[in-house]
Amino acid sequence: MKIKYTVLFLCFVLTAAVHAATKPIVSFGIYAGFNGSNLYSAEVPAAAYNADLVDVHAPYKTYMPNRIYKDSLGTEGYIYGAVPFDYQSSFLKDFIFNIAGGVYLDIPLKRNLSLKTYGSYETKGKFLENEKVETLSAGENEVTTTTLYKRNVKNSYLVVPVLLKYAWPSRTTYFIQGGPYAGFLLKSNTAGSSIVTELSGNSAYTDAYNFEEDSKHQTNSVDYGLMVGGGVEFYWTSNSYIFVEMNAGLGLRKIDKLYNNEYEEFDQNFRYLTNYTSKNYYSLSSSAKNFSVLFTVGFRYSVFKK
């Protein structure tokens, strides 16, 4: 009789031990991949653009109406020497792609539910390239102007989300996750150019401006937003998995730290012209925010209770 109860007790202890040993207390891992990103709400407001033109020698700072103007009588005219920064933003065409990677921590809450956080190096921004051809009449001459605009914004962040993860555990585990994230700016670089070619009769005129600068002083040091995603894990050993994951992040904070598309006009004595100045994020809207998609492959290792 005692042997029977002893065997039953040992079976109970063994079962409890196996159950405890199969319940992880924490998982951690590493991953690498790439992210695609763009800026949404990036076009300068129409109210500002309709009156504002960009000086070719400072296209990332100031709008100046040196091509089309109104004199003191309200008559429109034409002046040589500057070009409007006119562009159409494309959500898909303007995507930039960069390498990403990091480490993460996964803390189980229940059988199917866990809290996941990670530190990821990601570069976000926008590449804009737009060509415009316009023909204007200047007296007896017809002037054809071809302008190529480029902007390349790259802001690198340490992205730290806090995600609630729901999984359907098996040898092949599918999961979904979502939650807030914060991005801490590590470096920022903005480059651009305006190349103008004007043809009038047998004469041609070309002017170009190129710039590249550290734009960290004008970029908010902290970005935040929401992240959702999902993926699949493949069983490798008793406590390790290989996973493939995709996450999308929507920024809720504008990236411009200094300006808010301020707009003002001031008189210029020469020919009684009125100039306009619009302060924005390198000729993109100060309201621009981050959007990114992250694709990664990684390794997860679980630490179990003893």
The average pLDDT across 191-197 equals 82
Q: Is the pLDDT of residue 251 over 70?
A: yes
Which of 18-32, 84-98, 232-246 is the least confident region?
18-32
% of the chain exceeding 90 in pLDDT: 45
pLDDT, position 4: 45
> pLDDT category, 6, cuts 50, 70, 90?
very low
The average pLDDT across 200-218 equals 83
Q: Is the pLDDT of residue 154 over 60?
A: yes
- Per-residue pLDDT tens digits for 76-115: 443 333 444 556 677 888 999 999 999 999 999 988 999 9
Give the residue with greater pLDDT, 253 vs 213. 253
179: left (phi over 0), alpha (psi -120 to 50) or beta: left
Q: Is 13 helix (H, G, I), strand (E, B) or coil?
A: helix
- Per-residue pLDDT tens digits for 27-64: 999 999 999 999 999 886 654 443 344 433 333 333 33
**What are the tokens at 191?**
């480059």
> pLDDT category, 2, cuts 50, 70, 90?
very low
Q: Which of 118-132, 251-265, 268-282 has the highest mean pLDDT?
A: 118-132
Q: Is the pLDDT of residue 193 over 70?
A: yes
Average pLDDT of the residues of the chain: 77
**What are the tokens at 110?**
């229940």
**What are the tokens at 238?**
């008793």
pLDDT, position 42: 87
Q: Is the pLDDT of residue 290 over 90?
A: yes
pLDDT, position 53: 41
Q: Is the pLDDT of residue 123 over 80?
A: yes
Q: Are 102 and 161 in contact (CB under 8 A)?
A: no
- Taking the C-alpha atoms of residue 48 and residue 45, their distance in angstroms, rounded to an integer, is 6
pLDDT, position 276: 52
Q: Going by DSSP bridges, is the β-strand pair 172-200/203-214 parallel, antiparallel, or unpaired?
A: antiparallel
